[in-house]
Chain A
Amino acid sequence: MGSELLKGFRMLDLADEKGALCGKIFADMGVEVIKVEPPAGCSTRAIPPFLDDIPGPDRSFYAIAYHAGKQSVTLSLDSIEGLQLFCELAATADFVVESFPLGYMDRLGLGYGKLRELNPRLIYTSITPFGDTGPGKNYKAADIITWAAGGMMYLMGEEGKPPLEMSLPQAGLHAGAEAAVASLIAHYPREIDGVGQHVVIDMQACVVSTLMNEQAMPLLHGDYLRRSGIFTGAIGGRRKTVFRCKDGYISGLLAGGAYLPSTNATIDWMKEEGAAPAWLTQQGGLKSLTPSAFMNAAEADLRELEMAEEALERFLMTKTKKEIWQNVLQRRILAAPVATVADIADDPQLAARHYFVEITAPHLKRKFTMPGAFAKLSETPVGPAGAPPQIGQHNREVYCGLLGLTPERLVRLSAVGAI
Chain B
Amino acid sequence: MRRYAFEGIHVLDFTWYGVGPVTTKYLADNGADLIRIESSARLDGLRLAPPWKDAKPGVNNSQFFASYNTSKKGITLDMSRPKAREIFLKLLPWADIVAESFTPKTLRQWELDYEHLREFKPDLIMLSTCMQGQTGPHRDYPGFGNLMAALAGFYHIAGYSDSELCPPYGAYTDFIAPRFSACALIAALDYRRRTGKGQYIDMAQYEAALHNLAPALVDYFASGKILGPSGNRAARYAPHGAYRCADEDGHERWLAVAVATNHEWQEMLKVLGNPPVDSCFSTMLGRLDHREALDSFVGQLLGERRAEELTTALQAVGVSAYPVQNCMDLHRDENLQAFGYWHWLDHSVMGPSPYEGLQHRLSRTPGELRSPAPSLGQHNDEVLNGLLGMSAAEIEQLKQEKVVF
Contact = CB atoms under 8 A, between A and B. Distances in A.
A212 B199 contact: no
B334 A136 contact: yes
A382 B184 contact: yes
A217 interface: yes
A205 interface: yes
Chain B residues touching A, range = 35 or more
Interface string A50-90: 01100000000110111000000000000000000000000
Contacts of A343: 153
Given A156-B166, A164-B160, A336 B184 contact: no
B201 A336 contact: no
Given A185-B26, A185-B367, A206-B359, A220 B51 contact: yes
A230 to B, nearest CB: 6
A390 to B, nearest CB: 17
A329 B210 contact: no
A304 B178 CA distance: 39
Nearest to A235: B50
A188 B186 CA distance: 8
B335 A134 contact: yes
Contacts of A184: 182-183, 186-187, 190
A271 interface: no
A260 B189 CA distance: 41
B339 interface: yes
Given A157-B166, A187-B190, A191-B193, A204 B335 contact: yes
A353 B133 contact: yes
Contacts of B320: 139-142, 144-145
Interface string B184-207: 101111110110011111111011
Which interface residue of B176, B200, B214, B320 has the most chain A CB atoms within 10 A?
B214
B183 A130 contact: no
B46 to A, nearest CB: 8
B244 interface: yes
A374 to B, nearest CB: 4
Given A184-B183, A368-B221, A47 B236 contact: yes
Contacts of A141: 320, 322
B383 to A, nearest CB: 25
Nearest to B188: A377
18 contacts: A62-B215, A140-B320, A145-B321, A165-B232, A177-B176, A202-B339, A204-B335, A205-B358, A205-B359, A209-B356, A216-B51, A229-B164, A249-B155, A339-B152, A339-B155, A349-B133, A371-B214, A374-B180
Given A134-B334, A198-B364, 9 more contacts: A180-B179, A199-B362, A206-B359, A334-B143, A341-B219, A368-B222, A375-B208, A377-B200, A379-B199
